[in-house]
Amino acid sequence: MEAFVELVLDPAVTIRNAREVAERISGLLVPGRDLAIRAADLETGDVTLVQILVAARKTAAERGCRLRVDDPSPALTALMRRCGVDAP
């Protein structure tokens, strides 16, 4: 099986760069390719990041990809919890 392609999240993912991040993730979610999002360096995020990750899960399932979030930072874990979404 092919290894996961890795995308490293920037330290800040907010409304200001959400479109760019979403486009990068979407472009990597190709049928048969698995994606690992490394989130260890994330320091600042807002609800747009949560929306991106939830949408990415759905898109990955529709395209037959596996998606995982590796090393979620404490900031990401807290953000997901505040938004009522399961930890990544």
Q: What is the pLDDT of residues 58-84, one digit of tens each?
A: 999 999 999 999 999 999 999 999 999
The answer, yes or no, to whether residue 86 has pLDDT greater than 90, is: no
Structural domain contains residue 48 = yes
Structural domain contains residue 44 = yes
Structural domain contains residue 88 = no
The answer, yes or no, to whether residue 2 has pLDDT greater than 70, is: no
Structural domain contains residue 20 = yes
Residue the block writes with tokens 């698995």 = 34
pLDDT in tens, 13-61: 999 999 999 999 999 999 989 999 999 999 999 999 999 999 999 999 9
Q: Which domain CATH number covers 12?
A: 3.30.750.24
Domain enclosing residue 49, as ranges? 5-82
32, 64 contact by CB (below 8 A): yes
> For the chain, what is the domain count?
1
Pairing of strands 35-38, 67-70: parallel
